[in-house]
Chain A
Amino acid sequence: MSPIIEINDVHKNFGHLKVLNGVSFDIERGEVVAVIGRSGSGKSTMLRSVNRLEKIDRGRLVVCGHVVSDPSVDLHQLRRDVGIVFQSFNLFPHLTVRENVALGPRVARKLGRAETAKISEAALARVNLLEKLDVYPEQLSGGQQQRVAIARSLAMEPQVMLFDEVTSALDPYLTGEVLGVMEDLARGGMTMLVVTHEMEFAKRVANSIIFMNEGRVWERGPGGMLDDPQTLELRQFVGKT
């Protein structure tokens, strides 16, 4: 079986700034890959390119069979297959938790009322928030809001989930509950690409870790690679000299 995500020599500039400089890696179905690296190393840009929030300049990018690097890619299908969760939760403030989660199934997937309700509630159950169905985002803690955002993506029943530093805006206690949900997802077999600063989480949950530097995959390996860096840059990053 071919990989569910294939990234091959991807380049991307913002003006004169080279942000992605030949990124290549594959992810198999069911794999959990953590992406680490200094701020500014291109992690977010890489992740956003995967569901085409950013257009790449050069290279080949195939996700769930959609050729993302082809300008005529079917964005609708791509986004149905790929979920993404951001650092800022980006919930819709005028909608209740239930409505936030139901929007995708109802409007984009055009499902009926009953099926939408079933899927939304199943998604909220997976993030342990069934008791908050009818409250508004502003009535929730940051950790709860982020879990709603995860449920909102899950309700699309995606094949791949992307996470971009989803706990960076949370205090340690709330971080724990969000990481817990992500760990459950990983154990449930979801394919995940996770940009994170949580080294313990990366080591424990990810099948492999990618260290990005200067817009490239600098090192890739299992969790153990953090204890035995092969490059000076990774050694500096994990704080060993």
Chain B
Amino acid sequence: MSYQFEFADVLEQWPLFLKGIRLTVQLSALAVVFGFVVGLLTAIGRRSDTPWLAWSCGAYVEAIRNTPLLVQIFIVYFGFAALGWKVSVFSAATAALIINLGAYTCEIVRAGMDSINKGQIEAAECLALTKLQIYRYVILVPALEKVFPALASQFVLLVLASSVTSQIGAEDLTAVASRIQSETFRSFETYITVAIIYIVLSYLARVLFWAVGLIVFKRRRRLGLAF
């Protein structure tokens, strides 16, 4: 059994790979930024004393966490169409990823917020801070700090999961790979190349999140604590 690796034809397609990488990075970056915001807001919503708000946020999270990402992407894509809105494949893919990541982020962030000592929240109330001020100044940073590794892993998973958007025709790295392999007839080499690119992307994402952590969590930086 011997297989002759032949990467030359595949690597010749580097401009296409580059295009795919760009789209994957754009999709992932938008999804992470806005998915994080959605997750943060729904976490606060789930912890709210207002029953309908807490319930709606909970229902959203459960619905997303119990359905496949691919199905969510189809629902968003065909949903926009059914509503008569003309949106690009890219917009639909981004929206679906944001909705998906928002739900997972919500649960992670909520766990962090729940772990904040009640005494600290009480102390903040006694300093005449409002609920939102308490979230902003007392809960947010320590809560994110506690769950930061889990959050970073979830974001890296999102980068990888974004490959599913190729199913609705987004020209991401995975979609590009499928084109390259059908032109070069070098499927194995093509997907090995793509796998290596994903590994590099994941690794770069981790480094980026680590750097963001250093900037945001001033205390860790100052005291030289590792995550």
Residues of A within 8 A of B (CB): 51, 53, 75-77, 79-80, 82-84, 86, 88, 90-94, 103-104, 107-109, 136, 138-139, 149, 152-153, 156
Contact = CB atoms under 8 A, between A and B. Distances in A.
A75 B117 CA distance: 22
A12 to B, nearest CB: 17
Nearest to A137: B219
Contacts of A139: 223
Contacts of B128: 75-77, 79-80, 104, 108-109, 156
Nearest to A155: B127
Nearest to B134: A107
A156 B125 CA distance: 12
Contact of B126 (A83, A107, A136): A83
B141 A86 contact: no
Interface in B58-103: none
A86 B223 CA distance: 27
Contacts of A156: 127-128
A88 B88 CA distance: 55
Nearest to B127: A104
Nearest to A87: B119
28 contacts: A51-B126, A53-B125, A77-B128, A80-B128, A82-B126, A84-B126, A86-B119, A86-B122, A86-B123, A90-B119, A92-B120, A92-B138, A93-B120, A93-B142, A93-B219, A103-B124, A103-B129, A103-B137, A103-B138, A104-B127, A104-B129, A107-B129, A107-B133, A108-B127, A136-B223, A139-B223, A149-B123, A152-B123
Interface in B110-154: 117, 119-120, 122-130, 133, 137-138, 141-142, 145
Interface residues of B, number: 23
B126 A53 contact: yes
A108 B126 CA distance: 10
B222 A94 contact: no
A154 B217 CA distance: 27
Contact of A94 (B119, B124, B217): B217
Contacts, number: 71
Nearest to B119: A90
Given A93-B142, A94-B145, A136-B219, A88 B119 contact: yes
A94 B145 CA distance: 9
Which A-B residue pairs are the 7 nearest by beta carbons?
Answer: A108-B128, A90-B123, A104-B127, A79-B128, A90-B119, A94-B141, A80-B128
Given A88-B119, A136-B219, A94 B129 contact: no
Contacts of A103: 124, 127, 129, 137-138
A109 B130 CA distance: 11
Contacts of A77: 128
A94 B142 contact: yes
| Max count, chain B CB within 10 A of own CB: residue among A80, A84, A103, A107 | A107
A84 B137 CA distance: 19
Interface in B7-66: none
A108 B117 CA distance: 21
Contact of A90 (B120, B145, B222, B223): B120
B216 to A, nearest CB: 10
A79 B127 contact: yes
Contacts of B117: 90
Interface in B212-227: 217-219, 222-223
B127 A152 contact: yes
Contacts of A109: 128
A114 B128 CA distance: 20
A152 B222 CA distance: 22
Nearest to B145: A94
Interface in B140-170: 141-142, 145
